[in-house]
Structure 1
């Protein structure tokens, strides 16, 4: 019996990526999930979930995973580009190295994976890239400016890539989640010296509000179910937001209000006025 087509999920050790990989595997897919701490060798299971080592910020690591999957006959037909992280703090106080690391992971990390696996997707005559962005890429968040900027850049990247890849039968879908209960606040890198910042106490108040919203958000499995449905759906899908009713209201207001009034709403939502 032939193995089902492989689905590659980056950043699958926790949060949304873990939920997506586990849901896909439970549905009978052959899934390769990646983590920086997984094994570098070993067999790729014919079905179910195999965790494989990948550092998306390392060209050698990306090439190594590609070679491993190629040797196993497990080059992916679908890639879920999920790996990422967030930094917080005032833009003025964010070191350039921290900002560079944010973009290197959230944007260029996705690009390294795309660049490595696109030739095999073209050779098979098609495939699908599912890019996990964020509503923060649509609505700039105070004290998460570089995270918002990296996700906005990722959205633009996905849109341009979608146009370029259409002639090859490769679909690109951008999924933009709102707040989900993923443990993301625990992994968010905080400001280095928050207590001596001229932006206190505002930034602490904003970050506390963000953490509370994330802890009250939807389950990661709800997003995973939407991604699983997407992998089983024929046709082309530019993207969708996975958002609460409150978040959808803010998206609507963002579209219809001038910038000034909308930014006033954001300030009030985070207790900045």
Structure 2
């Protein structure tokens, strides 16, 4: 069944792969991006949308609904990453991280959901992260923003129970995209050689994991399955078993042991 789908952050990476795959299945897909001129050879409809700007979001959503009469599926994929020491993190950077990753989700949902509620059906897919289920050293702001998506989505699911609108969260592990190159790094300003060394080791480890991450098409295929199911689960873990198993380990291991395992992976002794 053909559906009208809005995918944010569709200019590259996971969003581009998802919008392309859904279009190939026959859906009417609108791939949104802050700079649509960066989207080359798109098979889907492109639309300008900046998740940090109310007017931009509302204009894009109104345009789609005017053309299609509805939005059946919203995929909140737009996001960015900031890495740095939480123990010396400028609040402005924290606000910047949340403005895209969390408030962007709130902003787009608030623009789309009234139409879904009116129609009595719809699906919201929020792209979270495995980092939204357990913390990561020196990716604390990113993790916090993704944890916020978990709480927001769970509460939203409760509120929409009687409306016919469903909410699910996809929690990806590492995928090979340009996310690594676009990550913003907060400066390390403390005069502490040990902590600086651990910071550098953690960044190197995360970039290595991302460089050998899965192809975005794997996530896109999972999202296609979710869109086509009548009863989506609340959460989907997508990634290498060596990463997704961490969710289980966190639930069964003593807290101190889990932290040690994570720190060992990231070179923190």
The gaps in structure 1 that reach 5 residues or longer are 40-47
Q: Does 1:248 align with 2:239?
A: no
Contact preservation (8 Å) 1:171, 1:237? no
Q: Which residue of 1 aligns with 2:85?
A: 90
**Separation in structure 1 between the aligned mates of residue 263 and residue 153 of structure 2, nearest angstrom:** 29
Q: Which residue of 2 aligns with 1:105?
A: 100
The offset of 1:141, in angstroms, is 0.5
Give TM-score scaled by structure 2 length: 0.93
Aligned pair partner of 1:232 in 228, 232, 255: 228
**Separation in structure 2 between the aligned mates of residue 137 and residue 197 of structure 1, nearest angstrom:** 29
The offset of 1:73, in angstroms, is 2.5
Aligned pair partner of 1:212 in 202, 208, 212: 208
Q: Which residue of 1 aligns with 2:115?
A: 120
Which aligned runs of 4 or more in structure 1 are off by greater than 4 angstroms? 193-198
1:1-273 correspondence to structure 2 within 5 Å: 4-38=2-36, 49-193=44-188, 199-273=195-269
Contact preservation (8 Å) 2:32, 2:47? yes
The offset of 1:249, in angstroms, is 2.8
**Aligned-partner SS, 1:8:** strand
**Separation in structure 1 between the aligned mates of residue 184 and residue 190 of structure 2, nearest angstrom:** 15
RMSD over aligned CA atoms reads 1.7
Residues 186-232 of structure 1, C-alpha deviation per residue, up to 9 Å, x if partnerless?
Answer: 11101235696653111111111101111111110000000001111
**Separation in structure 1 between the aligned mates of residue 62 and residue 242 of structure 2, nearest angstrom:** 45
The gaps in structure 2 that reach 5 residues or longer are 38-42
Contact preservation (8 Å) 1:12, 1:35? yes
Q: Which residue of 2 aligns with 1:43?
A: none
**Aligned-partner SS, 2:32:** strand
**Separation in structure 2 between the aligned mates of residue 272 and residue 73 of structure 1, nearest angstrom:** 52
Give TM-score scaled by structure 1 length: 0.92
Change (3 A) 1:193 1:265: closer
Paired positions, count: 263
**Separation in structure 1 between the aligned mates of residue 33 and residue 2 of structure 2, nearest angstrom:** 22
Q: Which moved more, 1:92-101 or 1:8-17?
A: 92-101
